[in-house]
Chains A and B, each alone.
Chain A
Amino acid sequence: MKRLVAALCVTGLAVTSAVAEDAPPSIPAAVLAPGAAAQSPALVGMLREAETWAAYKAKFVTEAGRVVDTANGLVSHSEGQGYGLLLAVAAGDRAGFERIWGWTRANLAVRDDALFAWRWEPDHRPAVADLNDAADGDILVAWALTEAAEAWSEDAYRVASRRIAVEVGRKLVLWKAPDGPVLLPAVAGFAAEDRSDGPVVSLSYYIFPAFARLGLAAPEFDWERLSGSGLRLIEASRFGEHGLPVDWISLAGGKPHAADGFAPNFAYNSIRIPLYLAWGGIGKRDHYQPFVATWSKQGSQNLATLDVNSGNSIDRLDETGYGAIPALTSCVASGTPWPAALKSLPAAGNYYSTTLQLLSLVAVRMRYPSCLHE
C-alpha cells in the first residue's frame, strides 16, 4: 500500500496544474492548454480523390466561385460556401479555395459585422435574401479559413478567420447559460427575447470538428466547452420511439423539446449530427446508437426523414450521397468498411447529398482511416 500512496503523491502535485488549466468557466481553455487546437488533426490533404473533387466543382461550383444548391432554385448560402471551402482545403486546391472565398466575401459579407448574409438567390434584386446570418455557415467559413491559414501559412486567411471566429464567439454563443454554452442559430430570431420558446437551437449547427480547431483563430473562447454542452444536448434530445433529435429544438424551460412552428422531424438538418460527431472524433457508441439503429432498420435503399412522434417516414432520401452518413456511422460503430462507390461522385445527385458524401469521406479519412483500408 505504501508504494501506491507514494505514487499518488506524485500525481497529486502534478495535478495541481489543473488549477491553472481549469480556472473559472469563462477562461478560455485553448489558451491555457496551448496547442489543444493545434493537436487536433489538420484538414488539408484529407480529400485525395482528385477526380471526385474536380467532378464536384464541375457540377456545383461556378467559375465565379459560387457553390450552387441545385435542388433548391440554384440559390447559394453561407453553408454551401463553407462546405466548398472545406472541401477545397481538403483537396489541397488552393486556387479553388481562393475562387470560392473570393465569391463568398464579395457577395455575402454585406452585413455590418464579420458574419455572412445566409442566403443568396440569383434571380432576385438584390440577390441577398436576408441580412440575417446562419451560425453554421459562419462557423464553416471561419473553420475553413483557419485550416487554409494553417495549410498554406496565409496571413490573409488568418486575419479573416479570426475576425469571423471572434464574431461567432461574441454574438452567437450564450456562454453563461445554466446548462453550459448554447449556440444560437443566427444573430436574429432564435433567442429568448425573439421567441416565446427561445432559445431555439439546431444541433446540426454544432460543428464539432470546427470547435476542435477554432481555438487557433480565437483562443479567448472556450470552444471545447461548447462541444461538451453540444454533446450533452444531443444526449438529452432523444424523442419518440427512435430516440432521435428533431431539426429545431427549444430549450425554454430547461428540458429540450421540439420547437414551436417547426415540424417535429428528424430531417435534412439533423442527419448531419452524426457526421459532425464522427468528424470531430467525439462521442461514445451511445451517441451514435439511435442513428445507427434507425438507419439499419430503414436499410440503405430506404433512407428517409422521420416524424419522431409518429415514427412515420416523411421524405425518401434516395440520392446516393445520403448513404454516406449511415456508412460513416457504421464505420464508427462497428468498423464497417467504406463502400468503394462512395469515393466517387454519383452520376445523379444534387448539391446537398453529394456534399454530405464528400464531407463524410473526408471525415472517415481523418478520424477512422481503418475503414478505408488505405
Chain B
Amino acid sequence: MPARMSAMNVAMGVATLLATGVVLVATIGIACAGPVDDTALREYAGQKRTDRVEMETRRLERLHPDWKPPADLWSARPSGPDEAPLWDLYEAGDLDLLRRAIAQRREQQRDWNPSDDLVDKIKAMELRAQIMDRAASGKWTEAAQLASDNGLAGGTRDIELLWIVAEAFARTERASEAAVLYKFVLENRADAAERTATILKALGTLSMADAEKLIAMGEAGTGGRNEFDDIRLDITRARISAFLHNDPANAIAASDLAAFEEFAHQSSDPRQAALVAWHAFKRGEFDAARDWFKWSIAHGGDAMSAHGLALTLLKLGLRREAEEVAFAWREPLTNNKILFIDVLETDLTREVPPFIEPARIARYAQVTMKSQSGEGAQGLAWYAYNSCQFEIALEWFKRAVAWFPKEATVYGYALTLQRLNRHREFIEIVNRYDGLFPKVVGLLFRDGFNHPPPLCERQTDSEIAWSRSHPRPDYRSTSASGQDGANRPGAGDGSRPTYYDEALVNSRAAYRVARSDFPVPVSPQNPLRFAVRAPLPPDRSGRVAQAFRVEGPLQPPRIARRVPGAGAMPYERFGIALLPAYDGATTVKVHTTYYYYAAAGTTWAEDSAAAAPDTPAVSARVEQRSR
C-alpha cells in the first residue's frame, strides 16, 4: 500500500515532525572552542620573548591538541605595544570602530601600518562576518561562493564558521563539499561535543547516505560505547525520516526503534509519536500505526496526525471511521477535506451503492458545494443515478461537468440526459466531446457487445436472465463488421482518409446514428458554470463599466481531429478517419503510450512503482486524490 499514499502524506507528516529534533539537540552542551586565540603568543614573539613564547605555546597545545604554532610567528611584522588599543577593539569584535581607528592613526602617522597579524585577523574577521551575514539572510549561494573563494572549503579551525559554510554548501547542491568539511572535523578535532554537534549538523543538511559515512567514523569509547551513542535518538529519527522518503540509509536496529518508541511515549511532544506512527504506516503495520496516531492526537497531535489516522483506518478497511476522522479535521487542514471528499466519492460511485444515511449525504453535499468539488459532485451524481433518481443526478452532473469535466463525468452527464430523453442536450454533449472522449461518443456508437441494462431498468430477474441468454443478433453483427479490419470500408487503400459523411453511409453504423444527430456542429465551449456564491461582492474595477471581449460566432467544424492523448473514437472501427492533430499526428496515442507514464525521477513514478504490486485500483485512486 504505502503505495501512492503516500510518499506525499508521509513526507508531509514527517516534515512537521522533524522540527522536533530541536528539543534533543538543545540538550547537547557544546563547549565553545572557537578559533584558537594566539594574540598573546604573537605579542610575545613580537617582543622576542622566547621564554614567554614557549610557555604560551605549551598552554595552547594543551588546550587545543591539534593546534600548531603559526609558521610566520617570528617573521610577521610585529604588533607593537602601541597597537594594544586596536587589539582591544578587535577583541570587542567591533570592525567598524577598528577600521576607523586605523584610518585615523594613518592620518596622524603617515608611515605607520598595522601589524601583519592584525591585518590578517581583520581580513579573516571580515570574511567571517560576510559569510555569516549572507547565511543569516538566506543568501546561501553567495555564502558558499565566498567560502570557496577564500580557501575555506578545505576546513577551518573556526567550528562555527565551518558549520555555516557546510550548511551553505549543502543548501546549494554542493553536498559533497559539505561532507568534506564535516569529515575534517571528525579527522582533526578531539572535542567530544564538537564532534557530536557536527554529526547533528550533518543529519540536518546531508542525505542520510552521506551522514551514515560520518556516523561510521564514530570512535568506540570505554565499555563498548560509541562516542555518538548520546545522539542515538537523533540518528534513529533521521533514519526513520530517510525511510519515509525512500532515501537510502542504514537499517534501523530493533533496539534503536524500541528506544525511540519509548522516548516518544515519554515525550511531551506529540509529533514524536506521529513519527513512529508514520513509520509503522509505511511498513504496513496498520494496527500499530493506528495506535500511535491515536496516542499522538490524544496528546495534542495536529491535523496531520489525524490525516495519518484517517489513511490508516482506510487501510484497515474502516472506511466509515476514516470518513469521520477526515470530516472532523477538515477545517484545520485542506488535506483532510480532500480526503473526506474522496473517501465517500468511492462509495458513492459504486454501481450498487451502499446504504448511506441521509445526514451523511447532506453533509457531504454541503462540503461539496462549499468547496466546489467536482469530485464530490460527480460522486453525488452517480449515487443519484444509480439510485434511479435521474433529475437529481442531472443537477449534480451539471456541476460536475462545470467543475470537473473528465471523461467519466461527461459520460455520466450524457447518460443521464439520454435516460431523461433530453435528446438535443444529449446530442450536443456527444458532439462537443467528439474526438476527445471515446466513451461519451460510444453512447451513440455502441461497441456491439451485449450489456446488461442499467440497474434501474432491470425489472425482473427473469428479464435479466433472458437478456443474458439471448444476445441481440444485430449488436453482434455490427461488431463483427466493425472489428474485422479486412471488411472495413476504406481500410487499407491508403489513398486518402475517409471521413464521416461518406463512410457513415457505407457503414452499418449509419443504421443507428441519425444524420441529424452526428456529426453536427456545436459550440466547442463548455458553458456550464456554478459560481462560488452569488452575488459576489462588487470588485475594484466595478467603478469602470464592465465590458468583455466580444467573440465572433464560432465556426464549429463537423469533423473531429485527432487529439494526442485521447483514445480512438468508436466509429474509427468503421474505417472513419479523424483529421490530423494540431501537431500533424494522425495515429492514436492510446492509453499505453508515454502520455500516461510517470517520468522516472518524479514522486509519481516512485509511488507508482511502490503501488504496482499490491494496491487495488480503487483505493489507489482515493489515495492518489487525497494527497
Contacts and interface: CB of A to CB of B under 8 A. Distances in A.
Interface of A: 1-9, 11-13, 15-28, 31-32, 50-51, 53-54, 57-64, 66, 68, 91-96, 98, 102-103, 105-107, 109-112, 119, 121-132, 154-156, 158-160, 162-163, 166, 169-177, 179-180, 182, 184, 187-189, 191-194, 199, 217, 219-220, 228-229, 231-232, 284
A22 B170 contact: yes
Contacts of B432: 126
- The interface centre, meaning the residue of A31, A61, A199, A284 with most chain B CB atoms within 10 A of its CB, is A31
5 contacts: A102-B531, A130-B583, A156-B370, A156-B372, A193-B594
Contacts of A180: 173
Given A24-B242, A26-B247, A130-B582, A154 B8 contact: no
Interface in B31-86: 32, 34, 37, 39
A102 B529 contact: yes
Given A19-B204, A61-B548, A110-B406, A122 B34 contact: no
A132 B595 CA distance: 7
Query: 4 smallest A-B Cβ distances: which pairs?
Result: A131-B565, A127-B524, A19-B204, A191-B599
Given A132-B595, A184-B599, A232-B172, A162 B335 contact: yes
A51 B556 CA distance: 34
Contacts of B205: 18, 22
Given A9-B32, A24-B245, A127-B524, 18 more contacts: A5-B34, A8-B160, A13-B30, A16-B28, A22-B170, A23-B18, A27-B15, A31-B12, A57-B547, A64-B527, A94-B539, A122-B524, A130-B582, A159-B373, A188-B595, A191-B600, A193-B599, A231-B141
Contacts of B143: none
Contact of B436 (A16, A61, A91, A110): A110
Nearest to B341: A159
B171 interface: yes
A77 to B, nearest CB: 12
B37 A106 contact: no
B373 to A, nearest CB: 6
B536 A94 contact: yes
B549 A9 contact: no
Contact of A125 (B21, B559, B565): B559
A158 to B, nearest CB: 5
A219 B12 contact: yes
Contact of B200 (A8, A16, A25): A16
A7 B22 contact: no
Nearest to B431: A125
Contacts of B599: 171, 174, 184, 187, 191-194, 199
B312 interface: no
Contact of B30 (A12, A105, A182): A12
- The interface centre, meaning the residue of B526, B547, B549 with most chain A CB atoms within 10 A of its CB, is B549
Interface in B564-612: 564-566, 581-583, 594-595, 597-604, 607
Nearest to B519: A125
- The interface centre, meaning the residue of A156, A169, A192, A229 with most chain B CB atoms within 10 A of its CB, is A156
B435 to A, nearest CB: 4
B207 A122 contact: no
Nearest to A60: B549
Given A3-B93, A24-B242, A119-B582, A94 B537 contact: yes
A16 B21 CA distance: 9
- The interface centre, meaning the residue of A18, A24, A170, A174 with most chain B CB atoms within 10 A of its CB, is A24
Contact of A19 (B203, B524, B560): B203
B402 A19 contact: no
Nearest to B406: A112
A98 B531 contact: yes
Interface string B200-225: 11011111100000000000000000
A123 B601 contact: no
Could you say which interface size class chain B belongs to?
A: 35 or more
Interface string B507-543: 0000000000001010011111101100011111101
B400 to A, nearest CB: 11
A131 B524 contact: no
Given A54-B545, A232-B173, A27 B241 contact: yes
B149 interface: no
B505 to A, nearest CB: 20
A132 B525 CA distance: 19
Given A2-B91, A3-B91, A188-B595, A19 B529 contact: no
- The interface centre, meaning the residue of B175, B203, B551, B565 with most chain A CB atoms within 10 A of its CB, is B565
Contacts of A105: 374, 402-405
Interface string B16-27: 101111100110
B242 A125 contact: no
B555 interface: yes
- The interface centre, meaning the residue of B159, B536, B601 with most chain A CB atoms within 10 A of its CB, is B601
B323 interface: no
Interface in B388-432: 401-407, 431-432
A220 B12 contact: yes
A16 B197 CA distance: 8
B556 A91 contact: no
B254 interface: no
A110 B405 contact: yes
Given A27-B18, A105-B404, A125-B560, A19 B25 contact: yes
A102 B167 CA distance: 45
B286 interface: no
B546 interface: yes
Contacts of A98: 531-532, 536
B541 A229 contact: no
B18 A220 contact: no
A1 B92 CA distance: 7
A18 B596 CA distance: 40
B434 interface: yes
A97 B384 CA distance: 31
B34 A128 contact: no
Contact of A128 (B172, B436, B532): B436
A117 to B, nearest CB: 8
A171 B604 contact: yes
Contacts of B551: 62-64, 66, 68, 122
A82 B618 CA distance: 32
B329 interface: no
Nearest to B170: A22
B22 A121 contact: no
B529 A106 contact: yes
A217 B241 CA distance: 22
B524 A124 contact: yes
A128 B436 CA distance: 8
Contacts of B273: none
Contacts of A25: 175, 207
